[in-house]
Structure 1
Amino acid sequence: MTGLPKTLMTIGGILLILGFLMQFIKIGKLPGDIVIKKENATFYFPIVTSILISVILSIVFYFFGRLK
C-alpha cells in the first residue's frame, strides 16, 4: 500500500491541471450537446462531448497498452 498515496497525489495533480485547462478550453459547448432551459432551471447533458472524450481516451489507452 505504499504506492497508494503517490497514486492519489498523481491523480489529484492531473485533475488540477485538467480543471485549470478547462477554464480556457470550451470543450463542453459542442453542437449536439443537450441544453434545456426553463424559467429558473437549466439542464445540460453533454452527450457529444462525452462521446468525444471517450474516443480520445480509448485511443490514448490503446497506444499505452501497445507500448507494454
Structure 2
Amino acid sequence: MPPGRLLIILGVVLILAGLLLTYGGRIPWLGKLPGDIRIERENFSFYFPLATSLLVSLLLSLLFWLFRR
C-alpha cells in the first residue's frame, strides 16, 4: 500500500475516533444495545458491551473494505 493512501486511511480513522470520543456520550443507544451484557448486584457491577463491539467492528471492517477497493 502506498504511504499516501495509508496516511489518508489513518487520518480518517483518527477523525472517526475523535468524533466518537467527542460525541459518543451524546448518542443514547451507544453502549446500551440489547446484546450488551450488564450485571449489577448490591456491591458489584459488570458491563461488557458485546453488541456495541460487534457493531463497531462491522462498521470499521466495512470502512476498511471500501478503502481497499
Q: 2:20 aligns with which of 14, 18, 25?
A: 18
Describe how 1:23-38 pairs up with structure 2 within 5 A.
23-26=25-28, 27-38=30-41
Task: Work out the percentage of aligned pairs sharing the same amino acid.
Answer: 45
Structure having the higher Rg:
1
CA RMSD in angstroms comes to 1.7
Unpaired runs of 5+ in structure 2? 1-10
TM-score when scaled to structure 1? 0.70
Unpaired runs of 5+ in structure 1? 1-9
Alignment size in residue pairs: 56
Q: 2:44 aligns with which of 41, 45, 51?
A: 41
Say whether 1:58 aligns with 2:61: yes
TM-score when scaled to structure 2? 0.69
